[in-house]
Amino acid sequence: MKAKSTIEYKDLKRAIKNHPLQLRMSVNKFLVRASASYRRAINQTTWTMGSSGGGVPKLSQNLRMAHEYTIRPFSLVVSVNENRADYAKYVYFGTRNMKARPWLLSVKNKQMSDIKNYQNKLLKEITNALGK
């Protein structure tokens, strides 16, 4: 047995054109939820010495506090302000004497199920609201 759902592209395109404010509000809500998910993982799950994966390596709070979350229409960018933590690239990519610790990639992979859930809620909200 299979359950199949389809959305007619022409109908969706018309609904988006007729309700751009509703679409933008729904997408912004999704981006705020995604941002909070990333922030939570970056701040709570530290990278432990000798292991792999986790949030920001924690020696001081400086690197953790240097993260910036930029929400623009239809996009979210999580980055590190290198003016606040100029050594971030060396921690992230590693050096010849230190193993790389790509915490943003690790956090993205760990939070992907939450992000997918938020995406599903977004699609459901959009199709329900715009289909009316």
Integer Cα distance of 84 and 67 in angstroms? 9
31-41 pLDDT, tens digit per residue, is 899 999 988 88
pLDDT at 121 over 80: yes
* Residues 26 and 122: beta-carbon distance below 8 Å: yes
* Mean pLDDT, rounded, for 101-124: 85
**Residue 6: predicted pLDDT:** 47
Integer Cα distance of 64 and 80 in angstroms? 9
Give pTM, 2 decimals: 0.74
| % the chain with pLDDT above 90 | 5
Integer Cα distance of 7 and 130 in angstroms? 12
Residue 108: pLDDT band (50, 70, 90) is confident
Cα–Cα nearest to 74, from 132, 14, 16, 11: 16
